[in-house]
């Protein structure tokens, strides 16, 4: 068991070159971090989850350094209410597991511990070493992307492995102080998002950092520092080296956390959209009247409202918003040039676009199948007469398809009168529905409809 070193005279030099923070690896004495005492910041243990506090104190009482780190510290300093609390320590993963019977080690690229308290998980990360130490257990791809990273070090090394200055603040449970090695507290005050280290190198190590910069800037309403923003458009093709499954997860973080509309605008601004959703990026390049962009903004704005109201959101509807116009345009081309029916053209176009999208961000079938249903149903809303029309109310995707219809109507893509009609008809009693759809009763008050070719009568589901 190692005792934590609190001699702050041993910590790393902070060099700032062209706005970026670099680690000085020479033999010069390394100054201490800026330490903000309890009286100088707004963080209180009352704002930290009780389970995270338990983990911090048990590590501290066992002789290890224990810091709350990352987004939790950042959000507390901003007066926000974090959902997740991460802990950094000089205890190695196996030592953490010995200390906590409820701990589980996970990860290959980064080995860390999850300490479980029922459904609550506190992530405990061992200080990681700087990239230039003698026994660095790091593996890189040819592009510079990190493939493995399990080198352990001290807090003065760990700081250089954090991504942004505002995420590199350490709350010390020993005396409730905040340790700042870069300009984290200053950048929080100025609402600036700044990478630690050389931006191009950091993006090459992990291209997802470009998406993370966009996501945090959108979430926090921060401005991305010029030197942090400059390489993004140029390096955006590196996202093609990232597994599509990981990019699917990042897409959900971008668009399902309450700041989707702003995230989309930043993806466009920094040239990242074409490497995530190339079809909609291509369509937007020809969107001369801005209607497609207006549609997407309205759809994502509605998604943000649902998140703020604690309502459910689904990747199915998100992808429907982002892929609708590419699919629609391809369907129109298939109809014009191959002579296929409207329904077959829409289904074929949806299948083709979804299959091609898989090479960029994975789209699991449990979401893509329902999305296709929602898009194919759109053409059926123009038919308001007969038994087939009334059966649409019974379709398991009707509600999602109807919501999508309302979105289209809100920007004038569909006659608002059609959306209003479907809104009203849902509220009618059974007899009112039959009259609205002009469906006549037959044989004892029931109507006949074909079911599996048998022609047996079936009543209308309410």
CA distance 440 to 227: 70
Residue 169: exposure state from Cβ atoms within 10 A (0-12, 13-18, ≥19): buried
Kindly give, in sequence order, each residue whose CB lies less than 8 Å from that of residue 318, ignoring residues fewer than 6 positions away.
251, 252, 255, 256, 260, 303
CA distance 72 to 169: 9
Catalytic, 157? Answer: no
Written as one string, the DSSP assignment of 240-304 is GGS-HHHHHHHHHHHHSSS-HHHHHHHHHHTT-GGGT-HHHHHHHHT-TTSHHHHHHHHHHHHHH
CA distance 319 to 3: 51
Closest residue by Cα to residue 354 from 448, 460, 256, 280: 280
49: tokens are 């989850």
Q: Provide the greatest CA pair distance for the chain.
A: 96
Dihedral (C-alpha) 451, 394, 431, 382: value to the nearest 10 degrees? -100
Kindly give, in sequence order, each residue whose CB lies less than 8 Å from that of residue 449, ignoring residues fewer than 6 positions away.
387, 391, 457, 458
Q: Which of 90, 157, 158, 163 is catalytic?
A: 163
Catalytic, 84? Answer: yes
CA distances from 357 to 154, 322, 330, 403 (A): 42, 11, 14, 24
Strand partners, 139: 148
Q: Which of 75, 86, 158, 206 is catalytic?
A: 86
Residues involved in catalysis: 84, 86, 163
């Amino acid at each position: 068991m190692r005792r934590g070193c609190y001699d702050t005279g041993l910590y790393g030099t902070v060099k700032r070159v062209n706005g970026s923070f670099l680690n000085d690896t020479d033999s010069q004495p390394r100054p201490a971090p800026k330490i903000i005492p309890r009286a100088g910041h707004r963080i209180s243990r009352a704002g930290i989850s009780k389970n995270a506090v338990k983990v911090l104190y048990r590590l501290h009482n066992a002789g290890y350094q224990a810091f709350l780190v990352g987004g939790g510290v950042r959000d507390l300093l901003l007066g926000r209410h974090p959902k997740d609390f991460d802990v950094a320590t000089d205890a190695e993963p196996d030592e953490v597991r010995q200390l906590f019977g409820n701990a589980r080690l996970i990860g290959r690229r980064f080995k860390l511990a999850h300490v479980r308290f029922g459904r609550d998980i506190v992530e405990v990360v061992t200080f990681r070493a700087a990239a230039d130490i003698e026994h660095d257990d790091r593996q890189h791809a040819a592009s510079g992307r990190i493939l493995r990273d399990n080198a352990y070090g001290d807090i003065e090394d760990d700081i250089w492995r954090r991504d942004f200055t505002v995420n590199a603040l350490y709350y010390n449970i020993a005396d409730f102080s905040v340790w700042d090695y870069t300009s984290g507290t200053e950048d929080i005050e100025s609402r600036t998002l700044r990478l630690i280290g050389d931006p191009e190198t950091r993006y090459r190590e992990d291209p997802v950092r470009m998406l993370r910069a966009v996501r945090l800037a959108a979430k926090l309403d921060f401005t991305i520092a010029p030197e942090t923003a400059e390489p993004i458009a140029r390096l955006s093709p590196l996202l093609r080296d990232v597994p599509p499954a990981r990019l699917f997860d990042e897409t959900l973080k971008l668009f399902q956390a309450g700041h989707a509309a702003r995230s989309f605008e930043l993806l466009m601004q920094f040239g990242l959209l074409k490497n995530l959703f190339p079809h909609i990026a291509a369509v937007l390049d020809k969107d001369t009247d801005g209607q497609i962009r207006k549609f997407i903004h309205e759809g994502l704005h509605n998604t943000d409202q649902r998140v703020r109201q604690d309502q459910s959101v689904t990747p199915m509807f998100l992808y429907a918003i982002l892929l609708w116009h590419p699919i629609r345009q391809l369907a129109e081309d298939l109809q014009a040039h191959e002579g296929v029916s409207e329904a077959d053209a829409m289904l074929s176009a949806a299948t083709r676009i979804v299959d091609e999208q898989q090479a960029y961000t994975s789209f699991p079938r449990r979401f893509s199948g329902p999305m296709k249903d929602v898009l194919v149903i759109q053409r059926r809303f123009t038919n308001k007469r007969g038994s087939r029309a009334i059966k649409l109310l019974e379709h398991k995707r009707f509600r999602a398809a109807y919501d999508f219809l309302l979105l289209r109507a809100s920007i004038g893509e569909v006659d608002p009168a059609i959306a209003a009609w479907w809104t009203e008809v849902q509220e009618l009693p059974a007899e009112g529905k039959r009259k609205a759809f002009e469906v006549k009763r037959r044989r004892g008050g029931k109507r006949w409809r074909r079911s599996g070719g048998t022609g047996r009568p079936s009543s209308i589901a309410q």
